[in-house]
Amino acid sequence: MAVYPAPETGTDCGVGSPDDCGVPRDATLQIRFDRYLLPETAVRQSIRVYTGDPDLGVFLQPEYDLVERVLSYRLADGGTYLPGVLYTVELVVPTDADSYGFRAFDGASLAEGPVPLKFDFRTAKADPPPAASSDPPVTCAAILTAFQNGSCTGSACHKRCDDPTGSCSQTPRMGLMLDSADAIRETAIGKPAHETEIGSKTGVVLENPVRLGVNMPIVDPFRPDNSYLMYKLLRKTDSFRTAPDAPQTVCDTRYQVGFGPDGECPPPPAAESQRLREWFVRGEPMPLGDLKLDNNDPRARLRLIQRWIREGARLDACPQ
């Protein structure tokens, strides 16, 4: 696990220090986990950030990035931290089955490691710069291209077979079609992944399953962390390359929290991928076979698909 701000950042800022000494007042607190989180624990109640009274903590808005396993906490409504103030961060460890705190997807509790579960940082005195503009929404054309370039819509994978001549080699795998907006609506959005169906509840997405990965939707709008498609894509280790010939230790990130001592960016540990497979992400990773890279960044493609789902998996204004 790694965090930004790093523990004790800015605590050495003295009376005569520059106004920008310390953590920017609009900083987003970021936690990079070595395991995938149980989504229901990636909430504001799993962390406390306060100055003085622990019961008077700041209000934070969480966002969980499955691709990089980073949980971000932003101040609500564009707020800022107080200038030149010492803040305490507490990462909550669950004490029983019903208490708040970070857990991995299989229920394992957060354990203390190189990053302490409680640490401090001091904010800068200077006002933060204006906020950067946000990215435009993902278009339907962009998401269809992402599936096509990601080798997901080949004739033997997830493409609709409407050819009356019989040239299609086989039906789409698991009934999933990703080659058009109508096909995605019909077979993916809000539809349970067959590999996750249990007992008599086939064909039904469960709102509150007994555990993660039971009757899970293939695409759950606004919830990439509850979308089976994301987990299938994440089990493909080649998806973590940033170029066709790039080693998996070369990467970029949109976060300030680091990867490792040398900036390495490996795929999820093999043991974690195996845990996913044993827990609920069964079968082969997606896409099957080699990725069709075509000089594209496969990890950027993962980010695009994740952002499309987070924005509601919209498919309006799609090319016909």
In a domain, 316, yes or no: no
Range of the domain at 192: 140-310
pLDDT, averaged in runs of 10, over the chain (320 residues): 92 91 96 93 96 91 94 93 96 91 94 89 93 86 83 52 52 77 94 86 80 93 96 82 56 74 64 90 71 59 93 84
Do 63 and 112 lie in one domain? The reply is yes
Q: Which two tokens stand for residue 281?
A: 């992400």
Task: Give domain status of residue 37, yes or no.
Answer: yes
Confidence (pTM): 0.86
Separation CA 12–CA 17 (nearest Å) = 9
132: in domain = no
Residue 127 lies in a domain: no
Q: Is residue 135 part of a domain?
A: no
Contact by Cβ (8 Å): 113, 1: yes
My answer on whether 80 and 229 are in the same domain is no
Render pLDDT for 106-141 as a digit per residue (tens, 0 to 9). Answer: 999 998 788 899 999 999 999 998 877 788 999 999
50 close to 37: Cβ distance less than 8 angstroms = no
- Which stretches of 129-267 are DSSP H helices? 140-149, 181-187, 228-234
Does a cis peptide bond (omega within 30 degrees of 0) precede residue 5? yes
pLDDT at 159: 56
Residue where a domain stops, chosen among 122, 149, 179: 122
Tell me, yes or no, whether 117 and 175 share the same domain. no
How high is the pLDDT of residue 294? Answer: 46
Task: Write down the pLDDT at residue 284.
Answer: 75
